Each structure stands twice: as C-alpha cells, then as structure tokens.
C-alpha cells in the first residue's frame, strides 16, 4: 500500500467505477513527471495486523522492522498472508524485488535463484573485506521494493545499480551495522544463504574477539602473537 501526496488533486487519475486494471499505467507517468514519491509504504498484511491491534498506520510502531520484534506479529503473522513465498512461485500479482543500500549505492536483485546467487556473491565480498581496516559506510540496509512501472520491473537485472530514489518505494526489512565487531560480522554472514568458510586471517581475528564484549571493534583489541623461544647464544630484536 502506497501513500502519495498531491498538491494538485486534479492530477490524480480518475478511479473508474468499472475496470481499473490499467490504473498504474495511468498513474506512473504523472508520478514521474511531477517527481512525486511515496510518503509512506505499508505491507497489506502489516496494515491488517496494525488495524487489529490498534497500532497507528505509518507510525514508528507500525514499521516492518518494529513489527518483527513484536511477539504477537511473529506468532500470528501467518494469519495475514499466504504461507510460502508467493513471489518465487510466480503467484504474486505485484511482485517485489530486493534493494540493497550500501553507502551511496543501491543495487537491485530479483527473488530468483540467480538473484540469490549474485546477492550472496556481493555479501561474501563484503564479509571478506569486513576487517580490512578501510573506511566503510555505517550500515547495510535491505528493502523490499515494488517499482510501479511494469515495463521497468520486467527489465530489472540482478546486481543492477539504480537511483537511490528506489528505496522510497520500499520497506526496510533488515539493517546490518558495518562497524568491525564480531557480532556485526556474524550477522553479515548469517544474511548469506551459503556463507564462505573463514579464511585463516578471519579465524585469527574472530578468536581474538570472541572473548571480548560485543561492542569491541577490531583492531582495538590485543592480538596474541607467538614469539619464538630464544635459543642459547641468540639475541632477539622486537
């Protein structure tokens, strides 16, 4: 469900009393021409849950990430939608795709095996460089997005870079802090369907962080370095 605000109500295409199957085709050109974006995006199943529970729509408590922490939502969520993935099975009348926002870049991925594979490759690359000490964007965000233009949806390619405006048509479903802590590293790996095995360097870093508090960042931790025993008659320079 999208909420659009029009300054000039006369621009809103007429909702006919008979057939409105072409309504998005009539609406999309107006939105693009006037640069109008959704002021709110809500899943219908989330809206149904909020309506039943008296949660104000478009409030912070109604955001999808907040509902994921709601025990009633997790327990009763199946009542407000079909079980199983209707998008992957081709049953969705209005399919969504995954948008990943990382810094100033937004990438789109289809909900297909091919899209999953390319997304996994992208996440594996981030995990591989997670502790390299280089400056990174603060967060990695995942959005369920629904481009309104059917022609555009049909042309989406996996890993395609798109305008940051795309996330305005989406719902944030996950956010991963990219600060170099063990907890964040594990969460990034858990987002992958098939995480790659840890490298020797990663194992060394993880072993140094595992005994530390969750918020300790690498390399702000003492590393255990083996110093060979000094043989008789040998000096040692450190």
Whole-model pTM over 0.85:
no
Same domain, 102 and 71: no
**Which tens digits make up the pLDDT trace of 162-195?**
999 999 999 998 999 999 999 999 999 999 998 9
Check residue 230 and report its DSSP letter: P
Same domain, 71 and 126: no
In a domain? residue 31 = yes
User: What is the distance between the alpha carbons of residues 60 and 41, in angstroms, rounded to a whole number?
Assistant: 12
Same domain, 125 and 44: no
pLDDT at site 123 = 95
Tokens representing residue 188 in the block: 């990034």
CA distance between the termini of the chain: 65
Same domain, 148 and 181: yes
pLDDT at site 112 = 83
Same domain, 114 and 53: no
pLDDT at 42 over 60: yes
pLDDT at 133 over 80: yes
Tokens representing residue 108 in the block: 């789109």
């Amino acid at each position: 469900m999208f909420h659009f605000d029009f300054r000039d109500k006369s621009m809103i295409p007429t909702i006919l009393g008979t057939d409105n199957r072409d309504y998005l085709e009539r609406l999309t050109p107006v939105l693009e021409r006037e640069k109008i974006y959704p002021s709110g995006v809500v899943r219908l199943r989330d809206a149904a849950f909020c309506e039943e529970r008296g949660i104000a729509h478009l409030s912070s408590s109604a955001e999808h990430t907040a509902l994921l922490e709601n025990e009633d939502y997790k327990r009763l969520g199946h009542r407000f939608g079909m079980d199983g993935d209707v998008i992957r099975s081709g049953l969705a009348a209005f399919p969504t795709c995954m948008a990943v926002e990382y810094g100033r870049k937004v990438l789109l991925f289809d909900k297909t095996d091919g899209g999953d594979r390319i997304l996994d490759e992208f996440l594996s690359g981030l995990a591989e460089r997670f502790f390299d000490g280089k400056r990174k964007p603060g967060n990695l965000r995942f959005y369920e997005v629904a481009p309104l233009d059917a022609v555009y949806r049909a042309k989406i390619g996996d890993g395609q870079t798109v305008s940051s405006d795309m996330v305005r048509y989406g719902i944030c479903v996950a956010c991963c802090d990219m600060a170099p802590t063990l907890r964040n590293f594990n969460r990034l790996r858990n987002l992958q369907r098939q995480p790659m095995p840890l490298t020797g360097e990663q194992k060394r870093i993880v072993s140094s962080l595992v005994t530390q508090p969750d918020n300790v960042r690498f390399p702000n931790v003492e590393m255990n370095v083996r110093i060979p025993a000094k043989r008789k008659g040998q000096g040692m320079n450190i």
